Each structure stands twice: as C-alpha cells, then as structure tokens.
C-alpha cells in the first residue's frame, strides 16, 4: 500500500513538473493565471487569463510584450493565443514570428472565433491542469460608491458615500459566486440606506452558444433593490459591431440584516441593442431599446471615448413621462491603482478595478433605469462592450 501511494505521488508530481514549462512560469510571473502552453501541429498555442491588470488595454499590452520576449524560445513560427475569462474562451489572437513591425514587435490579428483553438486544449488536456489556476481562489475587493441627488428645496444635493467590500469566488469554468456588504460612510438618502446591509448576492454562469454567441445567466440579489434571474447575450459581428440582448424577471428586494422586504417576481425587463467601434479614435457608439423597471419603454443612445485608464461618455434617452419626454447626462469610469497585482495566492485583497459614476438629472426613481447584476459592471468594462478587445489589438 505504501509503495503504491509513493508511486502515485511520484507520478503526480512528475506530471505537474512536466506541465510547468519555463515559458508557462514566465507568463505567471507576468501576471497571468489559468496558463497553458501547447505545441501542436506546427503552432504554439497559449491559453491565458489575467485579473492582475485593471484594464483590457493593460492586459492586451502585457500579452503582446510577453510574446515579444519569449518568441525567440519557441520552436514554431505560428503563435496562437486564446484569452480566457474564468477559464472560458472569449478572444483569439494570432501572429507569426517572421512578421514584425518597424519596432521589431510582433504583428497581431484577432477575432472572436475561439472554437478551433480551444479544441487543441481539449484534445491535449487529459490529466493536465492550468498553471496558476483560478479555481476556488477568493478575491476580496473594495468598491467605492458615491451618489448624489437633488430632491428637496432646502438643500442643493443629498449625498451618499459607501464602501462595499465584496467577495468573489471562482468556481468551475465560467461560474462565479459574489457576496457583498454595503457599509455607509455618509448617507443623506433614506433611513434604510443608512444601515449596514447586504448588497450583491449572486451566482453567475458564463457559457457559449453555437454561432459564436456569449451568454451569462445570473440569479440573486441585484442593484436598484431588485432580485431575481437575468440572462444576457452578446454576439460579435465582424471587427467592430456587437449585438446584444438582456431579459430578466425580478422582485423588489430590500435586504437588511434583521429584515428582508421582498415581493413576488412581478417585473419583467428587457433590452436589445447594437454597438459600433470607430477606429482610430477609440470611440464606441451604442444604441438600445428596452422595457425598464417602471414598466416603461425607452430608447437610449450613447457615445463614449476610451482612454488607457478611463472612459468618458454622454447619453440621451427617451422617457415615458409627459413633462420629461427626453433625458440626458454623462458618465465615466476610472481605473483604480495599483495597475498590477500578483495573482498567485489563494486569497487576494485589492481595490475594485474601476470607480464608476453616472450623472443624470431626473425627478423620478425607476423610469428608464435598469438594475445591474454584478458590482464590477462599468462603462469601461461590461458584458456588452467586448468589441473593445479588437480595437485594442489594432492600436498595439
């Protein structure tokens, strides 16, 4: 029995050591997790994910810089990369060691067709794991929240400042468990919002549908005092256009630690839209129509400019109120430092990736408003603007 156990341990440790090549270890040091490197059929295949950087620009920039550093060590000229999100393939990059620009950097082509490249991982994945896997790792993130509104005659604005510690636990492929506590620092809103209380409590599952369609199903407690079930879908079309849709059924949900006020699942909301990325200005145009939380229908148009560490934009929206048929405002999000974090430990503490803010002048609570299903949704990074990845590649 002892000999059998020792043989098993030796075999297991040998397999792990063989999987951890020097190239894979180098990529882990550069901030990547869920790393695999496979040489197959005349190509070098890489599978990478990174939450070490707060922005997609920094992630893609690190991928390109890392490949420039190790390309001379590779035996095949063709380089094929699949970027992952919670171990689910989302983006595809290709290059050739013989094709470089004037700065002696690799030239990249990109698309969202990850199927063929991901087959290589499945065919070579028997008994092997990702290096620096994110499975069961826990992130404690601190989300700053700032809100203000003008609803009284005796004071210009009412303010609210919260710090929202959030636990994110990566489960199986595409699955994420999120729990959040809202801690008020300053509150001039309602009495209920002056108490420490649960925020987002969700379970989400990402998956892909045939036809290169990305999807995310989420259940739990959302923002806007709503809870229930939600489904999002997104389909890239070519290099610049993305189509998306969302549908949810929710109930009123006000969660305090001593009481939970809730209603039946009585509200169905949805939206459908299209976005377009205009190069080389890094501009995204977005248009959507939907049914919102007040059971109202609305059309919304947005224009936003992406920078390296921030995004700013403006919007205009129709409202089903006779006195206010049209509304508008601005929004922005800013990446929070540090801009690089080590991701090798099982428990990580860090600030949120972004501070997100939207300003709107409205004397009504729910018309034209939609809940969020995750605390990390921002105008820079969200499920519907994945087309940005293609634009980033073009600019590198």
CATH number at residue 206: 2.40.160.40
Among 123, 153, 172, identify where a domain stops. 123
Same domain, 241 and 115: no
Containing structural domain, residue 103: 2-123
Give CA torsion, residues 147, 148, 151, 156, to 10 deg: 170
Among 75, 96, 123, identify where a domain stops. 123
Q: Give SS3 for 288.
A: strand
305's CB contacts (< 8 A; 6+ apart) are 281, 282, 283, 311, 312, 313
The model's confidence at residue 290, banded by pLDDT at 50, 70 and 90, is very high
Among 75, 90, 123, identify where a domain stops. 123
Domain assignment of residue 131, yes or no = no
Domain assignment of residue 104, yes or no = yes
Same domain, 381 and 349: yes
- pLDDT at position 272 is 96
pLDDT tens digit sequence for 102-149: 888 888 888 888 888 888 887 776 556 788 888 888 889 999 988 776
pLDDT tens digit sequence for 202-218: 999 999 888 889 999 99
Same domain, 285 and 369: yes
Q: Which of 151-155, 219-223, 374-378 has the lowest mean pLDDT?
A: 151-155
Smallest CA-to-CA distance from 168 within 219, 197, 202, 196 is with: 202
The number of distinct structural domains making up the chain is 2
Domain assignment of residue 255, yes or no = yes
pTM: 0.84
DSSP-assigned beta bridge partners for residue 313? 304, 331
């Amino acid at each position: 029995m002892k000999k059998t156990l020792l043989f098993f341990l030796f075999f297991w440790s040998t397999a792990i050591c063989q999987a951890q090549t020097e190239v894979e270890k180098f990529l882990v040091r550069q901030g990547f997790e869920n790393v695999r490197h496979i040489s197959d059929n005349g190509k070098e295949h890489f599978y990478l994910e990174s939450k070490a950087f707060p922005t997609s620009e920094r992630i893609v920039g690190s991928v390109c810089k890392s490949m420039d550093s190790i390309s001379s060590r590779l035996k095949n000229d063709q380089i094929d990369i699949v970027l992952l999100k919670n171990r689910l393939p989302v983006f595809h990059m290709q290059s050739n060691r013989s094709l470089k620009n004037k700065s002696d950097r690799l030239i990249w082509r990109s698309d969202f067709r990850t199927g063929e490249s991901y087959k290589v991982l499945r065919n070579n994945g028997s008994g092997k794991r990702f290096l620096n896997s994110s499975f069961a790792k826990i992130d404690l993130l601190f989300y700053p929240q700032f809100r203000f509104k003008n609803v009284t005659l005796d004071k210009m604005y009412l303010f609210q400042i919260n710090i929202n510690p959030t636990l994110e636990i990566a489960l199986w492929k595409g699955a994420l468990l999120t729990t959040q506590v809202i801690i008020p620092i300053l509150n001039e809103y309602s009495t209920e919002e002056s108490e420490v209380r649960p925020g987002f409590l969700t379970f989400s599952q990402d998956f892909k549908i045939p036809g290169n369609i990305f999807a995310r199903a989420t259940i739990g407690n959302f923002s806007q005092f709503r809870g229930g079930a939600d489904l999002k879908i997104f389909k890239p079309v070519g290099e610049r256009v993305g189509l998306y849709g969302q549908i949810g059924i929710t109930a009123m949900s006000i969660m305090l630690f001593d009481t939970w006020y809730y209603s039946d699942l009585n509200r169905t909301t949805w939206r459908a839209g299209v976005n377009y990325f205009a190069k080389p200005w890094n501009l995204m145009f977005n248009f959507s129509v939907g049914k919102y939380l007040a059971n109202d229908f609305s059309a919304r148009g947005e224009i936003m400019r992406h920078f390296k560490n921030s995004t700013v934009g403006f919007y205009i929206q129709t409202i089903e109120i006779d006195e206010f048929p049209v509304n508008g405002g601005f929004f922005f999000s800013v990446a929070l430092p540090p801009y690089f974090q080590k991701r090798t430990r099982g428990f990580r503490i860090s600030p949120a990736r972004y501070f997100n803010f939207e300003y709107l002048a409205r004397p009504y609570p729910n018309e034209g408003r939609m809940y969020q299903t995750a605390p990390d949704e921002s105008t820079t990074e969200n499920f519907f603007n994945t087309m940005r990845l293609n634009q980033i590649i073009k600019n590198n």
